[in-house]
């Protein structure tokens, strides 16, 4: 009799364990926002685990998520006309992780398999990577650089893709050209400097006093301390200005361009009329996901041509602190959230 009861208890225990395991697989820890606002709207909480809904999608176990200004701009509601996000929203569009689930079949093209270590900029119109799991499109994925651990790999995708697309797609930068990069010590800037040097350009870049040595280490030919010098007194005959600051920095940049040069901004659209009048080109560049370009970037990193700098690594629960730091506008390299040990 007692054995029977024991057996029943064991059986019941096994069933409830099974139930709780399956309940766990339906949920995950994530940082979500339920309305726009300051860092206090970031909530670390349980959320439904996303499901793969199409053969072109991949479920990723997130190990680390890069923090970018776009994250707090979305959180504040500045991007609401561009991306019609629904609440609750998981921010964070920069990640490194491991393939957890992928549908076999022709649509997946066999590029990835379960267990692959990957990195990505997922579609910023969908949920992001401040979570244990994310579903991304296969076209947004690449194998992560082998030489980087996840926390460093997560610092790369958004900054490097944006820099790549601005310099080489929009800017058509070629060897020997002169480029001025505003904000050369930040997330996009420190990658843009290295990519421009790799291409053979002559690089001028701005940052404050504390980051002058960093600019030199990154290979900048003419570092400019914007707190002590007017960049337009130093920079002349520039082929390409990469504006990562906007405002009066952008406005003062026209005068440094040579005839036929280009002013590209990632922050605010430069005046096309002014560009026309001055005989230069001007454009706003919006970065977009590209697994193919991320694969090229991974190759550059593994061949030691490009190295991300990570200023701070914080656990996912400290996301509010990460946003406060990013929002200060003085990040040196990148801030990364560690999602899995």
Ligand X SMILES: NC(=O)c1ccc[n+]([C@@H]2O[C@H](COP(=O)([O-])OP(=O)(O)OC[C@H]3O[C@@H](n4cnc5c(N)ncnc54)[C@H](OP(=O)(O)O)[C@@H]3O)[C@@H](O)[C@H]2O)c1
Q: Closest by alpha carbon to 241, among 258, 224, 226? A: 258
299 neighbors 143 (Cβ within 8 angstroms): no
In angstroms, what is the minimal distance from the CB of 315 to ligand X?
20
Residue nearest to ligand X (CB): 186
Of 7, 109, 286, 317, the residue at the interface with ligand X (CB under 6 A) is: 286
Task: Establish if 336 lies at the interface with ligand X (CB under 6 A).
Answer: no
In angstroms, what is the minimal distance from the CB of 248 to ligand X?
9
Three-state DSSP at 209 gives helix
Task: Establish if 293 lies at the interface with ligand X (CB under 6 A).
Answer: no
Of 160, 266, 280, 322, the residue at the interface with ligand X (CB under 6 A) is: 266
Site for ligand X in 182-241 (CB under 6 A): 182-183, 185-189, 206-208, 210-211, 226
Task: Quote the tokens at residue 131.
Answer: 């979570």
What is the size of the binding site for ligand X (CB under 6 A)? 32
Task: Establish if 329 lies at the interface with ligand X (CB under 6 A).
Answer: yes
In angstroms, what is the minimal distance from the CB of 278 to ligand X?
22
How far, in Å, CA of 197 to CA of 200, rounded? 5
How far, in Å, CA of 269 to CA of 271, rounded? 7
65 neighbors 128 (Cβ within 8 angstroms): yes
Task: Quote the tokens at residue 189.
Answer: 């800037």
Q: Closest by alpha carbon to 145, among 288, 305, 336, 315? A: 305
Of 133, 150, 331, 339, the residue at the interface with ligand X (CB under 6 A) is: 331
Cβ-based burial of 148 (10 A; exposed 0-12, middle 13-18, buried ≥19): buried
Binding site for ligand X (CB under 6 A): 68-70, 73, 159, 162, 182-183, 185-189, 206-208, 210-211, 226, 244-245, 249, 266-267, 285-287, 326, 329-332
């Amino acid at each position: 009799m007692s054995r029977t009861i024991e057996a029943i208890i064991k059986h019941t225990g096994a069933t409830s364990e099974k139930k709780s395991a399956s309940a766990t697989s339906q949920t995950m820890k994530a940082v979500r926002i339920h309305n726009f606002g300051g860092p206090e709207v970031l909530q670390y909480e349980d959320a439904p685990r996303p499901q793969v809904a199409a053969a072109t999608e991949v479920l990723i176990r997130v190990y680390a998520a890069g923090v970018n200004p776009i994250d707090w701009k979305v959180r504040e509601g500045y991007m609401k006309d561009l991306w019609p996000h629904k609440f609750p929203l998981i921010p964070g569009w920069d990640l490194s992780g491991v393939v957890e689930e992928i549908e076999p079949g022709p649509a997946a093209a066999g590029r990835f398999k379960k267990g692959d270590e990957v990195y990505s900029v997922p579609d910023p119109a969908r949920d992001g990577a401040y979570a244990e799991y994310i579903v991304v499109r296969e076209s947004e994925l690449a194998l992560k650089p082998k030489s980087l651990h996840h926390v460093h790999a997560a610092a790369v995708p958004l900054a490097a893709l944006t820099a790549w697309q601005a310099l080489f797609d929009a800017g058509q930068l070629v060897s020997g050209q002169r480029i001025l990069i505003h904000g050369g010590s930040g997330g996009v800037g420190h990658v843009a400097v290295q990519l421009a040097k790799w291409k053979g350009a002559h690089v001028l870049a701005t940052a404050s006093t504390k980051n002058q040595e960093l600019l030199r280490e990154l290979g900048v030919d003419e570092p400019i301390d914007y707190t002590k010098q007017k960049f337009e007194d130093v920079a002349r005959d520039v082929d390409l200005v990469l504006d990562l600051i906007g405002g009066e920095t952008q406005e003062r940049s026209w005068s440094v361009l040579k005839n036929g040069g280009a002013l590209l901004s990632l922050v605010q659209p430069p005046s096309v009329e002014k560009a026309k009048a001055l005989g230069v080109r001007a454009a706003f560049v919006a970065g977009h996901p590209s697994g193919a370009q991320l694969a090229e970037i991974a190759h550059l990193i593994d061949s030691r041509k490009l190295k991300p700098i990570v200023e701070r690594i914080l656990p996912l629960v400290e996301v509010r602190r990460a946003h406060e730091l990013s929002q200060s506008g003085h990040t040196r390299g990148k801030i990364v959230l560690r999602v899995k040990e």
